[in-house]
C-alpha cells in the first residue's frame, strides 16, 4: 500500500509546520493529501488558499480532498496551484457537475477519485463505475481528524473491488497500524493518515510503521 500523510489544518501556519515535518522524512515526489473542508458539507472548516500553495515550495505532489458543497468551483484554483489528483464526494455531485469536474481534470491531466461517506449506500457509486477507476472509502465522517475507525464500512471497499477489480481504493479515517491492516485486507491500495502521523512524538516512526503493514 501507499501511505499518504494528511494535512488537515485551519491556517497556513499549521500547513507550514506539517510540511516542515514531512520534509524531514518523506521522499520528495511522494504524494501528500490535503483536506479542504468548507464548514457546510463538513462540521468544521479548514485552510483553503490554493493561491498560497506555490509559495510554500512543497516538493510533494498534491492530492486535494474537496469536502465542499460545490467542488466543481474549486478545481481550477487548485489545478493552478499544481494539484495532481482530486478526491470529490459523491454526495455533492450530479451528472452535470461530475462532467464539469472530469473535463477540467482531463484537460490538466489530473486524476479524479470519488469518495463516499460511511452512511452513503454503495449503490450511489454505481453510475460512476465506468467513469472513474479511483475511489476513496471514508471510514469516519468527513472533516475532523482523529475520529474512530468504522470497520463495517470496509464492506464497501470489498464491493468496489468485486465490481471493478482494477479499481484503486483509498481508505481514509482512523488509520493506525491495526486499522491499516484491515484496510489492506479489504483491498486498499492507498491509506491516508493525519492524527496517527502528526499526533505522534515520532512522525517518521509512525509513518514507517504504516509502511510496513
Domains, the chain, with CATH or none:
2-211 (3.20.20.70)
pTM comes to 0.92
Active site residues: 35, 172
Give the pLDDT score at 151. 63
Mean pLDDT of 46-52: 96
Alpha helices in 110-176 (DSSP H): 154-163
Q: How far is CA 52 from CA 108, 183, 210, in A?
A: 20, 34, 30
For 35, the enclosing helix (H) or strand (E) is: strand 32-37
Checking if the pLDDT of 142 tops 70, the result is no
Conformational region of residue 146, where left means phi above 0, alpha means psi within -120 to 50, and beta covers everything else: left
CA–CA dist 83, 77 (Å, integer) = 9
CA–CA dist 176, 213 (Å, integer) = 10
Checking if the pLDDT of 83 tops 80, the result is yes
Give the pLDDT score at 173. 79
For residue 32 the three cell numbers come to 501528500
**pLDDT tens, position by position, 8-17:** 999 999 999 9
Which neighbouring-strand residues pair with 135? Answer: 114, 169
Amino acid at each position: 500500500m501507499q501511505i499518504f500523510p494528511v494535512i488537515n489544518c485551519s491556517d497556513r501556519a499549521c500547513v507550514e509546520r506539517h510540511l516542515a515535518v514531512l520534509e524531514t522524512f518523506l521522499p520528495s515526489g511522494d504524494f501528500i493529501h490535503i483536506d479542504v473542508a468548507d464548514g457546510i458539507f463538513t462540521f468544521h472548516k479548514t485552510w483553503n488558499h490554493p493561491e498560497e500553495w506555490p509559495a510554500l515550495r512543497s516538493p510533494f505532489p498534491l492530492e486535494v480532498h474537496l469536502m465542499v458543497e460545490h467542488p466543481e468551483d474549486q478545481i481550477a484554483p487548485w489545478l493552478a496551484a499544481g494539484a495532481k489528483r482530486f478526491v470529490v464526494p459523491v454526495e455533492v455531485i450530479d451528472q452535470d457537475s461530475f462532467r464539469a469536474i472530469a473535463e477540467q481534470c482531463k484537460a490538466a491531466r489530473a486524476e479524479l477519485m470519488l469518495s463516499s461517506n460511511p452512511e452513503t449506500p454503495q449503490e450511489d457509486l454505481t453510475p460512476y463505475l465506468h467513469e472513474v477507476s479511483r475511489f476513496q472509502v471514508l471510514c469516519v465522517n468527513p472533516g475532523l481528524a482523529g475520529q474512530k475507525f468504522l470497520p463495517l464500512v470496509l464492506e464497501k471497499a470489498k464491493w468496489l473491488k468485486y465490481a471493478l477489480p482494477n479499481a484503486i481504493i483509498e481508505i481514509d479515517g482512523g488509520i493506525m497500524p491495526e486499522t491499516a491492516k484491515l484496510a489492506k485486507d479489504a483491498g486498499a491500495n492507498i491509506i491516508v493518515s493525519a492524527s496517527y502521523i502528526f499526533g505522534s512524538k515520532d512522525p517518521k516512526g509512525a509513518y514507517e510503521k504504516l509502511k510496513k503493514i
